Amino acid sequence: MELIGYLACASIGISLGLIGAGGSILMVPVLVFLFDMPPILATSYSLFVVGITSFFAATGKFRKGDVLIGSALAFGLTSMIVVVAIRHFIIPVMPKSFGHLGNAPVSYDLLCIVLFACLMILAAIVMINKGRKDDVENIPANGNLLSTIPYALLVGIVTGFLGAGGGFMLIPVMTLLLGMDIKKAVGTSLAVIALNSLSGFVNDLDHVDINWKFLLIISAIALVGSVAGARLADRINSKRLKACFGWFILILGILIITREGYNFLKIMN
């Protein structure tokens, strides 16, 4: 299973390099189901892998002029405050159990993985719909940075609690509300994801025991994958790929909810 897990980390990096978003949504399930890691710990590891991979990807985009620093800081600082508050004040005091339904305990780990599966389904729907449409370029802005604050807060909540980057939410907001072309939206969103994820991980260091050897190995694998994905990006139809990847995430999210629901009902009865 570990070999499959390492291959999955490489595929996450490849997807990030190819389409700029969506790959990080798989990191927590990979850590939980293939490396047998508790969901809450998996979110910490995911923050680092997603953060460091997004950072290097954003660096490459920046050299091409596809990162708008002002927008990245304005959006990122708002969401980063939420991430830091959640990881520093809320996660360390979260109860391990929220009571029982019948004979089955409603644990935080169960809620975390089910919520993550729901997030996967939401991300998949967005990716499938975007994959069916033409790339969004040069759309007149329907708002300004102030209008993005609710979305920045939402991204911060998702990253803080679940360890996902939120690129599937960031890119539509930046294209539709800020009028960015798709390349700049991808580059800027990567910068925001890196800022949020790494700040959240740093806040976990005082209450999480990190296996640095393992973390650096999976991060390096994801990074190599992202470099390979970036080099393939110009040769592959990213629109069709995004839709196919969305369907994969959708099916996986449904399977996770079905699996956890079945196990929960079995304990109840």
Name the band, by pLDDT with cuts 50, 70 and 90, for residue 22.
Answer: low
What pLDDT is attached to residue 143? 55
What pLDDT is attached to residue 136? 47
Phi, psi of 247 (to 5 degrees): -65, -40
55 or 164: whose pLDDT is higher?
55
Question: Domain coordinates of the chain in residue numbers?
Answer: 2-268
- The owner of tokens 């911060």 is 156
Is-contact 50 198, C-beta < 8 A?
A: no
What pLDDT is attached to residue 138? 47
Name the band, by pLDDT with cuts 50, 70 and 90, for residue 229.
Answer: confident
Name the band, by pLDDT with cuts 50, 70 and 90, for residue 6.
Answer: very high
Contacts of 38 (CB under 8 A, 6+ apart): 32, 109
Q: Over the stretch 71-110, which tens digit does the pLDDT of each residue have?
A: 898 888 999 999 999 999 998 888 888 888 877 888 888 8
Name the band, by pLDDT with cuts 50, 70 and 90, for residue 230.
Answer: confident
Is-contact 111 98, C-beta < 8 A?
A: yes
Query: Is residue 263 over pLDDT 80?
Result: yes
Sign of torsion over alpha carbons 40, 42, 44, 47: negative
Across 30-59, average pLDDT: 91
User: What's the pTM value of the predicted model, to 2 decimals?
Assistant: 0.87
Angle at the Cα of 240 (from 238 to 244), degrees rounded to 5?
Answer: 110
Across 19-36, average pLDDT: 82
Strands 97-101 and 104-107: antiparallel
Q: Over the stretch 101-143, which tens digit does the pLDDT of each residue have?
A: 877 888 888 898 999 899 889 888 888 886 555 444 444 445 5
What pLDDT is attached to residue 109? 87
- Residue 63, both tokens: 């050299």
What pLDDT is attached to residue 142? 52
What pLDDT is attached to residue 223? 92
Residues above pLDDT 70, as percent of the chain = 90
Q: Over the stretch 195-218, which tens digit does the pLDDT of each residue have?
A: 999 999 999 998 899 999 999 999
3-state secondary structure the chain: CHHHHHHHHHHHHHHHHHHCCCHHHHHHHHHHHHCCCCHHHHHHHHHHHHHHHHHHHHHHHHHCCCCCHHHHHHHHHHHHHHHHHHHHHHHHHCCCEEEEECCEEEEHHHHHHHHHHHHHHHHHHHHHHHHHCCCCCCCCCCCCHHHHHHHHHHHHHHHHHHCCCCHHHHHHHHHHCCCCCHHHHHHHHHHHHHHHHHHHHHHHCCCCCCCHHHHHHHHHHHHHHHHHHHHHHHHCCHHHHHHHHHHHHHHHHHHHHHHHHHHHHHHHC
